[in-house]
Structure 1
Amino acid sequence: MDFWSRLLAHTPLSSAGSRRDFAKDPARRLHRFEKEYSQLLHTWRTSSNLASDHEAAERIEIGLQELTHILSDESRRPLPHPCIAFAAAKQVYIPVAKIAASSFNEWIIKEAVLFFAGLVESEEEAFVETDAFAASLTNLLVRITGPNTIRLGADTEARIVELAFNITTKIRLDPDILTAWFKSHHDGQPTAKPLDGREKFAGRMQKQDFPLFYLLMDYIHHEGKVGDFARTGLLYVIEAASSSVMLEQWIVESDLSTLMATGLGALYSQLSRKLVIDHPPDELPPILAFSDYQHPKSNYEVVSSCSPEFQSHLDTFLSHLLFWQDVLNHCRSVDVKSTLLEHFQVIFLQQLLYPSLLESSDVDGGSSVAVLTYLRRILESLDHPDMVNLILHYLLGLPDIVGSVSADSGDVVSAARKRKSLDLATMMASKGGTAADPLLFNLVDLILACLRSQNNQTVYVTLQLVSVILKRHHRYAVITLLYTEGVLGESSHRTLGAHQQEVEYLMSLAGSIGGQDNFDEIYDNTLKDTLVRLENHPCSIKLVTPKTSTHNHKLPAVPDSLPGAPRDVRSHTLHPSDPLLNIVLDRLETFFLNPVDINLALTEAIFDLAACGFMHLEGWFMRSPQNYVYEEEDDGPPLPEPPLDPESQEYVEYKQMQSMQESRRRPRWIQSSLPRLLKILQALCDQVAAYRETIPRFDDLLQQRREAFQIADCASQPLPLHPPLAKTPLPHPSAATTSAPAAERPAIFDGSRNTSRERPSGLEGFAQRILSELGTPTRSGSPRGRKEAKRTGSDRSSPVPVAPAETALRPRAQSGRSFSPGNPVPHSVMPGSWDDRGDVFASQAKAFQAIDQSLLARRVGLPVTTKPAEKQQNVEPIGLSFDRQRTAAGVSSADEKLAADEEEAKAAEGGGEDALLAPSEDGHTDAEADGEGGTAQGSAAEDRTVSVSHVLTNAIVLQSFLFELASLVQVRAGLFDEVRFA
């Protein structure tokens, strides 16, 4: 080789190829690894202090990086792997750990952690099973994460915790590896007894017994992937306790349960003691924006629920609570699980959660709102039966049934648990004072008191808590929160005729509110939603699970391991005098004066009361079969003559036909015998009719509000309260807005969905409708006219007879003005060109908008409603709009209609207050006249007023609720077999 060839061979151009040749040749690769390792040791030994010798520290960092690269590259190549074998034989990891532990240099520590991670991931030489490797790595992790080390960056900490997690993963896959990482010590000396020994284990465990365990414990409260790695790794260690008696006892006697309980309590204590429920101003749901909603005031002491800092604290607390649940799910040791639950009850429930409930008040700035919200979120998050049972069993004041702990002296784990329980009791006694007793004031007392509160926010969060208990933990509510009675047999079920009659009644009430939507489609969607909600109820599994065989199919039981859990729910009904029911109904009576969010929570709670398959509706929701009264002449179609032989099969079939025909008979609809809930619903619909008669253009405003919600559901942002007229075409109304369950209505009307199209105005629908009435083809089809026949006053209090029942389960279309293509076009817009008419349309639309804004802002109270016996017999159909009355009186042209509207608005602003504000003169309404305790509509309710806009929003909520109730009755009949056909 000449001079130039030798020169080019040592240039960087060929260095990459030479490096690849070294990597391919195992012998040359090993030579290079040994050389790098020798240089690393030489640099470390010749440097007196790596913390101050930056040049030596940099060389060591590069050397560690090179060693890690060689090992990583070799692990991907075919055998042999001499470098990995050399690292195992020479125990290269021991000096690497010492170098990193004494360097006080984050870069060296980080490269050392990566070096150990490469060895752990290697499937050769079984590094993780070696005692020397485990001791060396454990010493390194303890030194670099201890109190006397440098502060590490987030990335380095993440790599450290990930390395510990990888070790626990291998322990989970192979429990025999545990012997290298967990060792019990007595007087500082390792025990010579195998890990599976039972009889000679004594004394307290120390931190050096299992440093990896405590390393993970230190990071379980961290956010991000660091906390995820730590929590999951700890779960794997607890899961491995079932394969090692020594580890199981060590965990019982360790401070794991104490640290977890105190950590949870510390996170709970960080939550604000006073809270108000609010929404960000730019994210206010339209269903609240189109009402009299006012943002509550918050300050340094009272925190808003939409505060980012508060949300962060709450999320951290709930994530740690879910970690508790994960630990219990992974724990296979009964003693470890019992120790954890005992500390959870004593340290968290008795010392923190229950005292905060006991000391809460709704007059001190929202402490009741805070603690009830926290409890609701806790019960929403948990589904582990032992944790749920522990919380509700204690807070509801259920009697304790103490399970006996095994007294077998040979069971060292149970003996350790007894010692741990005594230590806990001693610790609590040393703090002084006695825990409050839930038997004196329990969660039921708090709920009933808060539902009677004058603070709307307290009522709102309490109703939400009630719904969570009813939906997720119904068997606890049956024996505590609700006043129920047992039901035996099918005689309490309603008959087919009564069922059809009651569904039709609910649908007629929903139809009386009016509207132009496709209610058939809306109701079909509501039926589907209701079916899903009923099937997902925890009590429904025993009723809807197919029973193909009584011997081979056993229904799953609730896996409660704690004693004292309530028994499974049985057939029951709600007593009409139930305090919770009557408080809810008292609130329902003032529906149109209530805040919209409270009405949403009210309707959700009533739905949840009736959602359980074991809850019979008859008596408190539907009419009781014992009160059915039939018309004597209503015997149905005649049956054939009965057979003479009563013992014959024909006679049996005849009796069955006779029984089925009797079940189809419809009882007389007696208003006084209706349950209070149905009476209140009827009264609310009568109030809608009264509002329709006193508020100008009520039907148009109601339909406009419904379309505004539909637009907001498709918009990227919530609609403003009084949006200007837009020029974009109105999209077709979506049926999904009204068909959703009550619990999801705020989310449905939440305008947070992204869309690319321009957001039209809520008033655009009204303008579009005016144009279509004046002959402008702005829509593909003309608005539907009202086709319902006139109904008398008695029709309002009795169901409309429609047959068959399937067709009666659909709402009737209710529309506002009815200018169909066959109707005459107003005379004032017939002549002239298109441009002239466009100018007229624009000016009229602006004028109507001004009038509507004035009407929406007006304040109204509860309207006067007459008793059913006093209602007039000859009235217009329910929902007759004010414009139709004007048209019938001769106001037909657009100009005359506009002038009439302006005069009415001026009259309302001036001396026409009584036309809009129509309180009851004597303070009595239908509910009070019936003697059902309508206390909410007394003089206090008369003094309250709300805007017309608020009334419109509540009317839409009421109509959606009526659809849900009708679908609930219909779905339950088929899903739970509740209707008698004979």
Structure 2
Amino acid sequence: MEFWSRLVGGTHTPKKPAPKVTPNDPHSRLERFQRVFNDVLDLVNRPRNLQDDARQLGQLRTLLDRLVVLIREETRAPVPHICLQYAASSQIYAVVGRAATVSHREAVIHSAVAVYAALIDSEEEDFLAKPSFAKSLMRLITRVIDSGNVLIGVDTETAILEVLFTISAKIRLQPEILSVWFQSTAKPGLEDVFAREKKSFVGITQKDDFPLCYLLIDRVHHEGRIGDFARTGLLYIFEATGRSADLEEWVVSSDLPTLMASGLGALYSQLSRELSILHPDATLPAVLAMSDYSTTHTRATAESAFSEKHQGQMATFLSYLAFWQDVLDHCRSADVKQTLLDHFQILFLQQLLYPSILQSSDTDAGSSVAVLTYLTAMLESLEYPDLIHMMLTYLLAIKDEHLTVPSAPSTPIRPSMPPRSPTALKRRRSLMLMTAPIDPDSAMEPTLFNLVDLVLNSVGSRSNQTAFAALKLFFTMMARQKKFAFGTLLRAQRSKTTTPSRTVGALDTEVDKYMGLAISIHEGSISDSACSTVTDDARYNIEAQMPFTTPTLPVQADDDSGASTYMLSPDDPLLRTLRARLRTFFTNSIDVNLALTQAIVSIASCIELRLDSWLALSPSSYTYSDGTPHPQKPWQAHLDEEEKDAWFALQQASRRPVWSEDHAPLLYTTLRAIAHELDGVRATVPNLGQLLAGRQNMLQATSIDALPGEPPSAMSSPNQASSLGVPKPSRGHSRTSSRSSQASGPSKATNNGRGSPAPLARSLAASPTGMRPSDMNTDSPPSARSIYQPPPPETPSTTDVLMQKITFPAVESDTGHVTDGSQPDQRTASLNHVLTNIVILQAFTLELVAVLQVRAAVLGEKEVRFS
């Protein structure tokens, strides 16, 4: 073998192959990382040359981006991660942060922030627990976005806020690292420094103690991802107050609560003081187009509620209000929570919101409209119980065991809450001292003029917009916060007995009377589908209230009754104002009538209120005719005494009382007077029935075209609180279902008994295009409505017929003064306007019938007596 080896080529032995260097080798990764970082050090240590500055900064940015890539690769690579160990030991972040700060170049700053984000995301070497890392990062961020010396774009600011949010999330999960990012320098002797003299703010500004918190709170009102990161990060900070006594004490004594309340007030102040809620021509709902509705405001300075500017401002304000609720919900410190509530009440409610109510007027282009609309939007958005309780008890001047007099507001105290700390008490006293009026005797308080007065005055206003806004606010309170309406807007009195006095026989009489009234409004039969639709909506609304049947109406000290039902007197001020509005129904604006009927149905649907006297017959006025007794059946002879007594009681309860016009319910009397006004209209317009049938068909057709595939629902006015184009924050459902808040009011019209389609469903929804009176020829078939076929000679056109003026007699109030119209002796409206109001009136009457029936079916013996 050796011979042949020497003969062929020698005796040398082949060498072993050199080992391959794999890219994932830890040492190879470290060599690449050190090489790039050394290049960064070389660039940073060079003298800065202005002529070559752009090229050097471009190289620095490229190297920083390369570092980010290597850190990300190291994080994904198998252990050991010696590159991250080298980064921590060498403190490369200090070099990167210093270079980015000195560069004053956005591209370099963005790349440096990416390096910090990559190190944080690595979750190794515990960078967030290193004071040097926190100091370097905070120095870079504060000098970049707080100094104003560097102009950065949205992308860079978003990247910075994302890093701050990540840090807040880590603090939430790892409370032990809070001491690295927060260090309180407050001294005990400085706890009440803010109480020594009045300044432009309340509290101590200590940005150096917790710069992360101030960076977040300065951007919570921003839109987009910047605002999202800031708000969520600050929520985590407030949640951490429950784990750190030092942070809790620091937040209470700092100016953070003042900044939050001032920010909410600033966003509210941006909203226009003069607001117009008139629909623009392009989006005018069909139900308003078929009326005398005007889209022109008398004052050009009033901001339109449908403008993009107003919608954006309103959305920002409501979003910040939702952030307030989230902060209170996440806060785990009772002292911090109560301090925030104090600032909300004193700085926002008392110093800003209440003065806007006090200064609102019905004669200055809509300041009352603006305030009422904003309050409605706030109540639609608010869900946090403490904020709702504080807001409504103050504005409505409610006194109970939890609140002192409105002139000295205090936070609701719950038994489960521990007593306040000395710092929190000092903070509250200083806040009260700084906001105290100079002359206490001249200070206006809610006890003198409050939200109740504003609503009562606005409902009876001559301005349609003001009345509409007030009615929508009242409906919102009844739908979402009805317990605060008892004893304030509605002077309800606690019923002395829990057993109902109304009988099932009286119910049958009431249903027959109201149903006959609905038929008389539009002569003809009522379709089963019309009744079924409104009944389903009423049932859903009433059933939704069943779990919450314990209202908190203030009880007098001498009243020890345990009843949970209340009586509404026909002399109630708001009820009388609503009745006065209802009395001029045919000449009212369409949107006012829609809001008016919605408000009345919301009262009738309230299961805590009894209907006696104002909607139903008063049991004290029951009288019976002397009819022949029912013949005794053979099976009655086999009944025992107890069964005979029960049978007799059932017969007595089923007897129908005589309907006396002298004791008719208040609402029925008003509706009957309105229906009698139709006799004059029928005399003026012989074909009124045909026109009404056509109007119902058109409203139904436009509703189907506008909202295809949507199920029928109860009345929705063309300008709901949420239909002003204001997106509400996405939050959990409130106690009152979103549908139940709409399941009140007339949305269903009835047939005329001539085979016309079923009820008007969603007739109040916006139509893509407005309908003109000339488009509403109902006297001829569709084929005859062509524009190429003019009306026959000597025949008035449909436009002329619909535009003719209908005159109604003047209506006097209880004091003998005319309550409607610019002319004191008569009221006028076009036939086109009257037709739409007639459809709404019949639908409203049908809803009252449905409410009467459904209340008896759902509440049972709590509503009527069956024996």
Instruction: Report the TM-score range of the alignment, normalised by the length of the smaller protein.
Output: 0.7 to 0.9
Q: 1:503 to 1:221 in 2, by over 3 A?
A: same
CA–CA distance in structure 2, aligned partners of residues 840 and 181 of structure 1: 77
Most deviating of 396-405 and 299-308: 396-405
Distance apart, 1:156 and its partner CA: 0.9
1:68-114 CA-to-partner distances (Å, cap 9, x unmatched) read: 11222332333333322322232222211111122111011111111
Q: 1:861 to 1:654 in 2, by over 3 A?
A: same
CA–CA distance in structure 2, aligned partners of residues 116 and 850 of structure 1: 80
1:710, 1:733 within 8 Å by CA — same for their partners in 2?
no
The aligned counterpart of 1:748 is 762
CA–CA distance in structure 2, aligned partners of residues 453 and 97 of structure 1: 64
Distance apart, 1:536 and its partner CA: 3.9
The aligned counterpart of 2:841 is 958
The aligned counterpart of 2:858 is 975
TM-score for the superposition, normalised by structure 2:
0.82
Q: Which runs of 5+ in 2 are unaligned?
A: 1-19, 189-202, 555-560, 717-741, 748-759
Partner amino acid, structure 1, of 2:372: L
Aligned partner of 1:579 among 562, 573, 583: 573
1:101 corresponds to 2:115: no
2:448 is paired with a residue whose SS is coil
Q: 1:589 to 1:759 in 2, by over 3 A?
A: closer
1:303-344 CA-to-partner distances (Å, cap 9, x unmatched) read: 222222222222222222222222111112221111111112
List aligned pairs for 1:788-937, cutoff 5 A.
843=789, 851-862=797-808, 919=809, 936=819
Distance apart, 1:348 and its partner CA: 1.5
Distance apart, 1:524 and its partner CA: 1.7
Distance apart, 1:845 and its partner CA: 7.3
Aligned partner of 1:945 among 820, 828, 839: 828
CA–CA distance in structure 2, aligned partners of residues 948 and 51 of structure 1: 82
Give the aligned length.
Answer: 775
List aligned pairs for 1:56-205, cutoff 5 A.
56-185=56-185
1:529 corresponds to 2:412: no
Q: 1:518 to 1:228 in 2, by over 3 A?
A: farther
1:361 is paired with a residue whose SS is coil
Q: 1:568 to 1:319 in 2, by over 3 A?
A: farther
1:209 is paired with a residue whose SS is coil
1:50, 1:104 within 8 Å by CA — same for their partners in 2?
no
1:259 corresponds to 2:237: no
CA–CA distance in structure 1, aligned partners of residues 258 and 82 of structure 2: 48
2:322, 2:382 within 8 Å by CA — same for their partners in 1?
yes
RMSD between superposed Cα atoms in Å:
3.8
1:656-694 CA-to-partner distances (Å, cap 9, x unmatched) read: 111112222211122221111011112223333442343
CA–CA distance in structure 2, aligned partners of residues 414 and 161 of structure 1: 33
1:951 is paired with a residue whose SS is helix
The aligned counterpart of 2:475 is 467
Distance apart, 1:609 and its partner CA: 1.5
Aligned partner of 1:705 among 695, 705, 717: 695
The aligned counterpart of 1:541 is 547
Q: 1:535 to 1:99 in 2, by over 3 A?
A: farther
1:847-906 CA-to-partner distances (Å, cap 9, x unmatched) read: 8996322110000022xxxxxxxxxxxxxxxxxxxxxxxxxxxxxxxxxxxxxxxxxxxx
2:586, 2:837 within 8 Å by CA — same for their partners in 1?
yes
Aligned partner of 1:620 among 595, 606, 614: 614
Q: 1:680 to 1:293 in 2, by over 3 A?
A: same
Q: 1:36 to 1:738 in 2, by over 3 A?
A: closer
The aligned counterpart of 1:683 is 673
1:39-80 CA-to-partner distances (Å, cap 9, x unmatched) read: 111111114268971111111101111111122233233333
CA–CA distance in structure 2, aligned partners of residues 362 and 587 of structure 1: 17
1:944 is paired with a residue whose SS is strand
2:640 is paired with a residue whose SS is helix
2:262, 2:347 within 8 Å by CA — same for their partners in 1?
yes
1:976 is paired with a residue whose SS is helix
Partner amino acid, structure 2, of 1:703: A
2:342, 2:410 within 8 Å by CA — same for their partners in 1?
no
CA–CA distance in structure 1, aligned partners of residues 178 and 121 of structure 2: 17
Q: 1:589 to 1:518 in 2, by over 3 A?
A: closer
Distance apart, 1:432 and its partner CA: 7.3
CA–CA distance in structure 2, aligned partners of residues 759 and 365 of structure 1: 28
CA–CA distance in structure 2, aligned partners of residues 767 and 141 of structure 1: 74
1:415 corresponds to 2:422: yes
Distance apart, 1:944 and its partner CA: 2.0
1:615 is paired with a residue whose SS is coil
CA–CA distance in structure 2, aligned partners of residues 129 and 981 of structure 1: 74
CA–CA distance in structure 1, aligned partners of residues 39 and 492 of structure 2: 82
1:541 is paired with a residue whose SS is coil
CA–CA distance in structure 2, aligned partners of residues 234 and 733 of structure 1: 40
List aligned pairs for 1:343-742, cutoff 5 A.
343-399=343-399, 400-401=403-404, 414-429=421-436, 435-514=443-522, 519-537=527-545, 540-543=546-549, 570-633=564-627, 635-636=629-630, 638-639=632-633, 650-715=640-705, 741=743
Q: 1:250 to 1:698 in 2, by over 3 A?
A: same
Q: 1:952 to 1:83 in 2, by over 3 A?
A: same
Q: 1:682 to 1:733 in 2, by over 3 A?
A: farther
CA–CA distance in structure 1, aligned partners of residues 544 and 23 of structure 2: 60
1:278 corresponds to 2:292: no
CA–CA distance in structure 1, aligned partners of residues 797 and 330 of structure 2: 65
Partner amino acid, structure 1, of 2:46: T
Q: 1:974 to 1:86 in 2, by over 3 A?
A: farther
1:526, 1:967 within 8 Å by CA — same for their partners in 2?
yes
Distance apart, 1:956 and its partner CA: 1.0
2:219 is paired with a residue whose SS is coil
Partner amino acid, structure 1, of 2:645: K
The aligned counterpart of 2:199 is none
TM-score for the superposition, normalised by structure 1:
0.73
CA–CA distance in structure 2, aligned partners of residues 743 and 482 of structure 1: 19
The aligned counterpart of 1:783 is none
The aligned counterpart of 2:17 is none
1:262, 1:348 within 8 Å by CA — same for their partners in 2?
yes
Distance apart, 1:285 and its partner CA: 0.9
Partner amino acid, structure 2, of 1:947: S
CA–CA distance in structure 2, aligned partners of residues 48 and 88 of structure 1: 27
Q: 1:586 to 1:131 in 2, by over 3 A?
A: same
Distance apart, 1:743 and its partner CA: 5.8
1:748 is paired with a residue whose SS is coil
1:152 is paired with a residue whose SS is coil
1:767, 1:845 within 8 Å by CA — same for their partners in 2?
no
Taking only the aligned residue pairs, the percentage that are identical comes to: 39
1:861 is paired with a residue whose SS is strand
1:737-790 CA-to-partner distances (Å, cap 9, x unmatched) read: 9798456859934665789xx999964765447x7xxxxxxxxxxxxxxxxxxx
The aligned counterpart of 1:901 is none
